[in-house]
Amino acid sequence: MGENLYLFMIIALAVLAITDLVVGVSNDAVNFLNSAIGSKAISFRTVMIVASIGIAFGAISSSGMMEVARKGIFNPEHFVFAEIMIIFMAVMITDILLLDFFNTLGMPTSTTVSIVFELLGAAVAVSLVKIMGDGEGASSLWMYINTDKATEIILGILLSVVIAFTVGALVQFISRLLISFKFENKPSWVGAIFGGFALTSIIYFILVKGLKSASILSPEILETIANKQFLFILSNFVVWTLLSWMITTLTRISIYTIVIVMGTFALAMAFAGNDLVNFIGVPLAALESYTSWSTSGIDPNVYTMEGLSTAVKTPQYLLLLSGMIMVVTLWFSSKAKNVVKTSVDLSRQDEGDERFQPNFLSRQIVRFSIKASENIAALIPDIIVRKMDTRFEKPYVYVPKSRVQDLPAFDLVRASVNLMVASVLISLATSMKLPLSTTYVTFMVAMGSSLADRAWGAESAVYRVAGVLNVIGGWFFTAISAFTAAALIAYIIHLGGIWAIGVLLIIASFLIGKNYLTHTKKMKETKLEEKLERAESNSIIGVIEESAANISLAIKRANKIYTQSIDGLAKHDIETLRKSKKGISKFDKEVEDLRDNIFYFIKNLDESSVSTSNFYIAILSYLQDMTQSLEYIAKAGYKHVHNNHKKLRFNQIKDLKETDGYLDQLFTDIQTIFETKDFLKLTELIIGKQELFKKVDMKIHKQVERTRTDESSPKNTALYFSLLLETKDLLVATMNLLETYDQHANTKI
């Protein structure tokens, strides 16, 4: 039974390893795809091909990193085989659950932080069980934990945040000062020197440092390079600078594009070389342990694991197979694309849509940073400040909404710096057998370079800082969660044995399946979701035509939200009211986005188009008035039911449903008019507005009479009057909107 149990655990760990590879790559795809995709220097397909080749090379060079899982966090000689298997099983189950959870949220997290703290948590839990069983003191815990290496790894991860951010910001600042945003107009020698420096850095750290364990370069060549490093670097710089100059002079290929291609390959390879241990290191260590124990004939509760302390070279075929799984995941994972979007959005050059809301800490950091930068700027002579400012000037170019999705998030220079700096730092760590967090490094390099590039302007800084704090907070939350969850699961396995493992695997499978289905459903809804679009025409006729679809959609959603609110109140159904509250929140945000875009809309107008801007501003104002009324109606109904107040009386519900019927007919007619663009029919609706107002006023008058005679609930009365008054305001805003369209559309026909 004992051997069958451990064989089952090995098989389960193998399955978990494949799953972890899939989930882990979905999380870490952001590390090497972010800059290439964000710059749009090469096609998405080319990015994927280059990254895939890099992953394959990196996978076969990661053998040395596998030692971290065997002896990097705990001292294996103090554990027996049965205990080691509990640690490994707990780590893999925890790792998959945590990574899948963060992927589903679309948040990049650190697989290195996960694996390190899971190993630490599980090892501590098993060690405490041993200590209590043997009657030892708590001070003996450090005998079981490899405190030196664990501290080195954890401090390395934390220090990498500062180093990556600082180096990324410094290199980007210097690059931009020398090259500016007008890099395409610079002499070819400027790009050649940049290309020589970038390519030399990548070649040296990838070939010499990153691939030294892959046996691609002979030991003799590596020794020669090590002895003559300065000569090797200098000759590389000269060769690559000359080649860069020839390429830019004789062809139309940008040297920055070449650097991005090489950098993507280098970063993908560095990622696979450094992070593969996070996904398969534990299962491989478990397989080595099982192989060693199964041939010994010793009881698993007695057989000690000194064998894990020795250096073992991982079979190349296993590394290559892992690399293939990573490549396939990269091509087909929708979650990977979702995580990439988060990182690209946070580092984009333009304003764009902000994904995170500012918080107290982000506001304080921005306020302090602005004050500090003003103080520093005061110490620098004005002539130097003005000269530096010219290097960071980015000319404004209006881009039609049809091409907004094609815009790069940042230019080729920043993408090159991101890839070069991140790949160099990660390869250097890999050569030191230090499992650096590739997520920390690539993300913080991107944040540092975007800060140095002045992408965090007054309009966006508070949102970007909030995003960085959210992501970093997520990583630290991962560390605490990983330690706690792995310790708990290890203890459960210790108590329950095979049954506990079976139940935990079933729970893990269920949660991953549930998250997958939820994510798939969310992606489908996103694709089908209708959204208000920005106008881009510079004439009233053009804006009327373009915004007709917006008005049709806005009226359709207003109708749905109003009906949901009234139905929820009538049925006292909190879920329906929650949906209407959520719907108006989204609707209001889209209208707010359109209002925020007024600056860019007006900038695109010619001098004779003042009336066009006035028309556009007016319709946005009326849309906002509509959303405010709907928001009050939705929230008031939700609050009433949520606080468990009395249900509305039958006559009140009847009147509200009748009012909903009036609005439903009006909104349906408006929607049809704007869908067909038959604006001549607007006049008929406008003529009938007084009749609608009279109907609402009658409902108010009836409630006044009821209140005098038999109404006994102050809350119901206040709510009812508020709903009818806001309904009247909603009608006023709607009619104002129709009158504005009627005035402009029908006079231009």
DSSP string, 294-355: HTTT--TTT-B-GGGGS--PPPHHHHHHHHHHHHHHHHH-HHHHHHHHHHHHHH-SS-----
More confident residue, 186 or 408: 186
The pLDDT value given to residue 340: 53
Helices within 348-399 (DSSP H only): 360-379, 382-391
Residue 433 has pLDDT above 80, yes or no: no
State the Cα–Cα distance between residues 142 and 136, nearest whole angstrom.
12
Residue 524 has pLDDT above 70, yes or no: no
For 139, phi then psi, to 5°, come to -65, -20
For 43, phi then psi, to 5°, come to -65, 155
pLDDT digits (tens, 9 = 90+) for 611-649: 777 777 888 888 888 889 999 999 988 888 888 888 888
- Name which of 559, 607, 485, 708 is nearest 567 in CA terms: 559
74: which strand partners?
145
Residue 514 carries which side chain, given as an amino acid letter? Answer: K
Residue 596 has pLDDT above 80, yes or no: no
The pLDDT value given to residue 529: 44
The pLDDT value given to residue 488: 92
The pLDDT value given to residue 300: 83
Residues 148-159 have a mean pLDDT of: 77
Average pLDDT, rounded, for the chain:
76
Residue 698 has pLDDT above 70, yes or no: yes
The pLDDT value given to residue 109: 66
More confident residue, 377 or 563: 563
The pLDDT value given to residue 399: 47
State the Cα–Cα distance between residues 144 and 151, nearest whole angstrom.
14
Residue 344 has pLDDT above 50, yes or no: yes
- Name which of 427, 38, 415, 29 is nearest 260 in CA terms: 415
- Name which of 94, 517, 76 is nearest 289 in CA terms: 76
State the Cα–Cα distance between residues 252 and 628, nearest whole angstrom.
54
pLDDT digits (tens, 9 = 90+) for 43-90: 778 888 888 888 887 777 665 555 565 566 777 888 888 888 888 888
For 214, phi then psi, to 5°, come to -95, 0
pLDDT digits (tens, 9 = 90+) for 217-261: 566 776 777 677 778 788 888 988 898 888 878 777 788 888 888
Here the tokens at position 457 are 């302007």
Residue 210 has pLDDT above 60, yes or no: no
The pLDDT value given to residue 605: 54
State the Cα–Cα distance between residues 111 and 530, nearest whole angstrom.
35
Here the tokens at position 172 are 């980007």
Residue 532 has pLDDT above 60, yes or no: no
Please say whether the beta carbons of 660 and 563 come within 8 A: yes
Residue 539's Cβ-count burial label (10 Å; 0-12, 13-18, 19+) is middle
For 80, phi then psi, to 5°, come to -95, 170
Residue 286 has pLDDT above 50, yes or no: yes
Please say whether the beta carbons of 255 and 247 come within 8 A: yes
First to last CA, the chain: 87
The pLDDT value given to residue 217: 58
More confident residue, 39 or 14: 14
State the Cα–Cα distance between residues 272 and 211, nearest whole angstrom.
11
- The HSE-up count of residue 378 (CA atoms within 13 Å, CB side) is 6
More confident residue, 722 or 472: 722
State the Cα–Cα distance between residues 320 and 236, nearest whole angstrom.
30
State the Cα–Cα distance between residues 432 and 64, nearest whole angstrom.
10
Report the share of the chain in percent with pLDDT over 70.
74
Residues 169-187 have a mean pLDDT of: 79
The pLDDT value given to residue 487: 92
The set of residues, in sequence order, having a beta carbon less than 8 Å from that of 440 and lying 6+ positions away, is: 110, 112, 113, 157, 160, 161, 164, 475
- Name which of 51, 63, 424 is nearest 212 in CA terms: 63
pLDDT digits (tens, 9 = 90+) for 395-425: 555 444 444 444 555 577 888 888 888 888 8
For 312, phi then psi, to 5°, come to -130, 130
pLDDT band at 355 (very low <50, low <70, confident <90, very high): low
The pLDDT value given to residue 404: 44
DSSP for 431-489? Answer: HTT----HHHHHHHHHHHHHHHTT-S-TTTHHHHHHHHHHHHHHHHHHHHHHHHHHHHH
pLDDT digits (tens, 9 = 90+) for 83-109: 888 888 888 888 878 877 776 665 656
145: which strand partners?
74
